[in-house]
């Protein structure tokens, strides 16, 4: 019987014991009622008058009665009993009994020995139970209830290996030393080396910190004790510290081993930061953890791994050498790492042959390992929903969008006016994304509501930028303003749809001025406000600059925003024709992709683009139909193979005839022949489609080298030039919103 089963058995025994005590008390207090049937004083009087009463015994306000010729003997038992409420009734009944010469005995109340001591016994039992509960709480779980015992889950056979972890090559190299020490500690001790007692894994959520810890345990093949930081904290005083002691006691019995504390910031926050700097239960738990990691007792063979995404709030004593000697930052994977992660998560998923892992890695910039796993899972669900045998590229792109922005809201009712506003709004973003040199590549433009947005323009970087330059930040701000400016140019009015764009642009401009030193007036100075994440430390932000400086900061932010607003306005005004075409295309198709955006920028008509999109949709439909037929043929063949195996056994047993068996074989051969013909016909169709596509590309000149992005001025005005009232309205609104400001001078382009 293992330790957990023993603890559960003890708890069960105490529950049974308590139930038995309660039952005993109830039995003793209720006792055995031998008084007989109850009668009223009136009924008792009638029995006396009719000479039915043989003997009467009075005790404690109750008349106990035996009938004439009854075999019961008082005071042990009786046939009837009568309770009296008043002394007058009692006196009348006694006088009547005496007048009839009935045997009558009166006795004072005397309690039995058990009845006398039973309250004291009950109190004693309650005190014993309370004592054991109090001992279990205060002695750290050494008692029967186990409040102070560690909740660590011990695992001996971890199957995760370093080969299951991708996108973290440097992190794995750091942890391989830990594995080597656990396997061969003599190699290090001979050279006088000391292995780190603790390793802290720091990084954003979803980057694989817990997976790395499991891989260390799996590679070293040692016991793995895992616990969450919140498992130490309870409502009872001293329980957290007790669980820390119990955790290390378990580890010492199983060494060499690994202790893994997930989300250690729940218990390792900086001390003295509570309201009033109090000495609370969490601090006592942290103190005990510090003592166990670097105390007088040796912990050889025990390595503590911990994970957190809030290393900034941890106590400095926890991070010093001798405790967590080594801190490993688990970064968001780069493009190479994302490709490796995608390949790992796609190992057991049927992917279409056209899917390129390099392209997927490029368009998933900023994704963590958890995001990539979620993206592939969403793509699998979409493929299953469409009854496709394989996952295609459109499933993966939709999975990316769902991870970033949430699912589509196709059922949401949208008026024609709102739809038109949305088309121009998103067209403004997309066109500026193509015209501005430093903007990320536009991958998708849609007017289908998704999440909280009425539409969206999806831009993904072509490569992972380590630094954000001055020009790139300005281009991002200008692109954010594209939606609002497009509404202003086309409708002469503005909507509330740009609220998020305004917030994002303002945040970038503020950081340029206050954090990144990109203001010529303020210079190379950081003006960011310092905040403390603790309630008892600072109650509000404290500015480190004067009110005059704050006013200059506001002016510089406004200058950056106005400058980018003016140049974005000019670009969209020059490319009004393209904006009209994109709006028209979005109304027809609702969603367009990078290829369609490129064709619009090249000057192709809406009809040409719609024809190309329809052709692609038809090819995709044929491909999906082929996949469904393939899946159907494979399912039929699988069923026939199973039937043939069963029929073969029944044939040997004489249950099935040879003719019936041969009929199944013929059916299988016929379906295999049909399947082969289907594959040949499908291959011919694919070749024909590919030839047609190549011919069309040659005719349209699409095989030529792509031209560099250029700013295409509008050649034909499509707005109503004759509408003088509208033109005046637009001009007035433009003059009101666009102020003349000087272009901010560039200082240092690098972060």
Residue 432 burial (C-beta neighbours within 10 Å; 0-12, 13-18, 19+): buried
| The predicted structure's pLDDT at residue 536 | 43
Edge-to-edge strands, sheet with 153-155: 153-155, 224-228, 257-262, 302-308, 198-202, 326-329
| The predicted structure's pLDDT at residue 409 | 76
Q: Is the pLDDT of residue 44 over 70?
A: yes
| The predicted structure's pLDDT at residue 62 | 84
Edge-to-edge strands, sheet with 591-593: 456-460, 441-446, 591-593
Greater model confidence, 152 or 597:
597
Among 277-291, 331-345, 359-373, the range scoring the smallest mean pLDDT is 277-291
- pLDDT class for 730, splitting at 50, 70, 90? very low
Cα torsion 458, 461, 466, 467 to 10°: value is: -70
| The predicted structure's pLDDT at residue 579 | 94
Q: Is the pLDDT of residue 575 over 70?
A: yes
Q: Is the pLDDT of residue 257 over 50?
A: yes
Average the pLDDT over 375-388 and give the result: 88
| The predicted structure's pLDDT at residue 479 | 95
Q: Is the pLDDT of residue 749 over 50?
A: no
Which of 172-181, 236-245, 262-271, 439-448 tops mean pLDDT?
439-448
| The predicted structure's pLDDT at residue 557 | 94
Please give the Cα distance from 36 to 82 (Å, whole number): 10
User: In angstroms, what is the C-alpha Rg of the chain?
Assistant: 42
pLDDT digits (tens, 9 = 90+) for 603-646: 999 999 999 888 888 877 777 777 777 777 777 888 888 888 88
- pLDDT class for 474, splitting at 50, 70, 90? very high
- pLDDT class for 108, splitting at 50, 70, 90? low
- pLDDT class for 115, splitting at 50, 70, 90? low
| The predicted structure's pLDDT at residue 347 | 86
Give me the helices (H) in 231-334, please.
239-254, 281-293, 316-319
Q: What is the pTM of this model?
A: 0.65
Could you give phi then psi for residue 10, rounded to 5 degrees? -60, -45
Please give the Cα distance from 239 to 360 (Å, whole number): 49
| The predicted structure's pLDDT at residue 87 | 81
Q: Match 């106005």 to its residue by tokens.
A: 562
Average the pLDDT over 303-317 and give the result: 87
| Beta bridge pairs of residue 441 | 460
Q: Is the pLDDT of residue 723 over 70?
A: no
Among 16-30, 237-251, 452-466, 705-719, the range scoring the smallest mean pLDDT is 705-719
Average the pLDDT over 418-443 and give the result: 92
Active site residue 106: no
Average the pLDDT over 223-229 and give the result: 84
Greater model confidence, 281 or 289:
289
Quote the tokens at residue 168. 């973290």
Question: How much is the mean pLDDT over the chain?
Answer: 78
3-class secondary-structure state, position 37: strand
Please give the Cα distance from 241 to 138 (Å, whole number): 11
> How crowded is residue 354: how many other Cβ atoms within 10 Å of its Cβ?
9
| The predicted structure's pLDDT at residue 660 | 81
Q: Between β-strands 103-107 and 53-59, what pairing exists: parallel, antiparallel or unpaired?
A: parallel
| The predicted structure's pLDDT at residue 740 | 39
pLDDT digits (tens, 9 = 90+) for 690-722: 556 555 555 554 444 444 344 444 333 444 444
Among 28-37, 99-108, 621-630, the range scoring the smallest mean pLDDT is 28-37
pLDDT digits (tens, 9 = 90+) for 339-348: 999 999 888 8
Q: Which position among 219, 426, 444, 487 bears the catalytic label?
A: 426
Instruction: Using alpha carbons, select from 590, 616, 578, 594 the residue that is nearest to residue 697.
Output: 616
Please give the Cα distance from 450 to 410 (Å, whole number): 8
Q: Between β-strands 257-262 and 302-308, what pairing exists: parallel, antiparallel or unpaired?
A: parallel
Q: Is the pLDDT of residue 431 over 90?
A: yes
Residues 376 and 342 sit within 8 Å (Cβ to Cβ): yes
DSSP secondary structure code for residue 66 in this structure: E
| The predicted structure's pLDDT at residue 573 | 93
Average the pLDDT over 717-728 and give the result: 44
| The predicted structure's pLDDT at residue 577 | 94
Cα torsion 310, 314, 316, 322 to 10°: value is: -90
Q: Is the pLDDT of residue 475 over 50?
A: yes
Greater model confidence, 665 or 410:
665
Q: Is the pLDDT of residue 570 over 70?
A: yes
Please give the Cα distance from 354 to 539 (Å, whole number): 56
Quote the tokens at residue 475. 């281009």
Among 250-259, 474-483, 508-517, the range scoring the smallest mean pLDDT is 250-259
Which of 154-168, 299-313, 358-372, 648-662 tops mean pLDDT?
358-372
pLDDT digits (tens, 9 = 90+) for 503-551: 999 999 999 999 898 988 888 888 865 544 444 444 445 567 788 888 9
Q: Is the pLDDT of residue 241 over 90?
A: no
Could you give phi then psi for residue 712, rounded to 5 degrees? -100, 110
- pLDDT class for 289, splitting at 50, 70, 90? confident
Q: Is the pLDDT of residue 738 over 50?
A: no
Burial 409-424, CB ≥16 within 10 A → b, else e: eeeeeeeeeebbbbbb
| The predicted structure's pLDDT at residue 481 | 94
DSSP secondary structure code for residue 60 in this structure: T
| The predicted structure's pLDDT at residue 422 | 93
Which of 362-371, 640-649, 670-679 tops mean pLDDT?
362-371
| The predicted structure's pLDDT at residue 461 | 82
Q: How far are the Cα atoms of 124, 160, 228, 330, 373 from residue 168, in angstroms, in the given order?
A: 63, 15, 23, 7, 16
Average the pLDDT over 442-464 and give the result: 84
| The predicted structure's pLDDT at residue 504 | 94
Please give the Cα distance from 266 to 561 (Å, whole number): 41
């Amino acid at each position: 019987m293992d330790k957990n089963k023993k603890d559960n058995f003890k708890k069960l025994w105490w529950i049974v014991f308590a139930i038995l005590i309660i039952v005993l008390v109830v039995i003793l207090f209720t006792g055995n009622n031998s008084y007989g049937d109850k009668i009223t004083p009136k009924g008792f009087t009638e029995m006396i008058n009719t000479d039915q009463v043989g003997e009467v015994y009075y005790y404690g306000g109750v008349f106990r009665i035996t009938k004439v010729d009854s075999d019961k003997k008082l005071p042990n038992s009786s046939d009837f009993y009568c309770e009296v409420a008043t002394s007058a009734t009692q006196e009348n009944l006694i006088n009547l009994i005496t007048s009839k010469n009935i045997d009558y005995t009166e006795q004072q109340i005397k309690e039995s020995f058990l009845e006398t001591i039973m309250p004291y016994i009950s109190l004693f039992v309650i005190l014993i139970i309370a004592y054991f509960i109090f001992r279990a709480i205060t002695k750290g779980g050494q008692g029967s209830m186990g409040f102070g015992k560690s909740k660590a889950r011990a695992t001996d056979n971890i199957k995760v290996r370093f080969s299951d972890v991708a996108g973290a090559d440097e992190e794995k190299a750091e942890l391989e030393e830990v594995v080597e020490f656990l396997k061969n500690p003599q190699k290090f001790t001979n050279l006088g080396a000391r292995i780190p007692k603790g390793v802290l894994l720091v990084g954003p959520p979803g980057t694989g910190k817990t997976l790395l810890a499991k891989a260390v345990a799996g590679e070293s093949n040692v016991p793995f004790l895992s616990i969450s930081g919140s498992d130490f904290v309870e409502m009872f005083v001293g329980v957290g510290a007790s669980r820390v002691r119990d955790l290390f006691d378990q580890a010492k019995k199983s060494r060499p081993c690994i202790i893994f504390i997930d989300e250690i910031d729940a218990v390792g926050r900086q001390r003295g930061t509570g309201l009033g700097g109090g000495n609370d239960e969490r601090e006592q738990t942290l103190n005990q953890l510090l003592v166990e990691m670097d105390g007088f007792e040796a912990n050889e063979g025990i390595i503590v791994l911990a994970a957190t995404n809030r290393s900034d709030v941890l106590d400095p004593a926890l991070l010093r050498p001798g405790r967590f000697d080594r801190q490993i930052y688990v970064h968001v994977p780069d493009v190479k790492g994302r490709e490796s992660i995608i390949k790992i998560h796609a190992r057991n998923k049927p992917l279409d042959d056209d899917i390129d892992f390099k392209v997927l890695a490029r368009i998933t910039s900023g994704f963590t390992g958890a995001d990539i796993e979620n993206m592939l899972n969403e793509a699998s669900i979409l493929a299953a929903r469409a009854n496709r045998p394989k996952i295609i590229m459109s499933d993966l792109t939709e999975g990316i969008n769902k991870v970033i922005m949430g699912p589509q809201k196709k059922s949401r009712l949208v008026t024609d006016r709102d739809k038109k506003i949305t088309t121009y709004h998103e067209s403004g973003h997309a066109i500026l994304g193509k015209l501005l040199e430093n903007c990320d590549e536009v991958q998708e433009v849609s007017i289908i509501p998704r999440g909280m947005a009425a539409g969206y323009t999806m831009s993904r970087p072509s490569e992972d930028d380590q630094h954000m330059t001055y020009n790139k930040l300005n281009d991002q701000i200008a692109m954010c303003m594209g939606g609002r400016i497009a509404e202003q140019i086309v409708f002469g009015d503005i909507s509330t749809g740009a609220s998020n764009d305004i917030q994002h642009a303002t945040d970038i401009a503020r950081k340029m001025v206050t954090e990144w030193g990109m203001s010529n007036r303020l210079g190379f100075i950081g003006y960011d406000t310092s905040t403390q994440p603790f309630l008892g430390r600072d109650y509000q932000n404290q500015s480190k600059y004067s009110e005059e400086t704050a006013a200059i900061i506001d002016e510089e932010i406004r200058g950056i925003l106005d400058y980018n607003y003016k140049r974005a306005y000019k670009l969209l005004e020059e490319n009004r024709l393209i904006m009209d075409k994109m709006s028209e295309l979005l109304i027809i198709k609702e969603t367009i992709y990078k290829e369609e955006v490129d064709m619009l920028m090249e000057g192709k008509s809406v009809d040409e683009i719609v024809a190309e999109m329809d052709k692609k949709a038809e090819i995709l439909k044929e491909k999906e139909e082929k996949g469904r037929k393939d899946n159907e043929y494979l399912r039929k063949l699988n069923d026939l193979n199973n039937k043939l195996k069963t029929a073969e056994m029944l044939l040997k047993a004489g249950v099935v005839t040879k003719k019936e068996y041969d009929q199944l074989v013929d059916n299988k051969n016929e379906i295999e022949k049909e399947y082969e013909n289907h594959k040949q016909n499908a291959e011919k169709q694919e070749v024909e489609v590919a030839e047609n596509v190549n011919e069309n590309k040659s005719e349209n000149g699409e095989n030529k080298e792509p031209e560099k992005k250029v700013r295409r001025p509008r050649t034909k005005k499509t707005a109503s030039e004759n509408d003088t009232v509208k033109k005046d309205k637009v001009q007035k609104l433009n003059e009101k919103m666009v102020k003349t400001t000087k272009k901010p001078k560039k200082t240092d382009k690098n972060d």
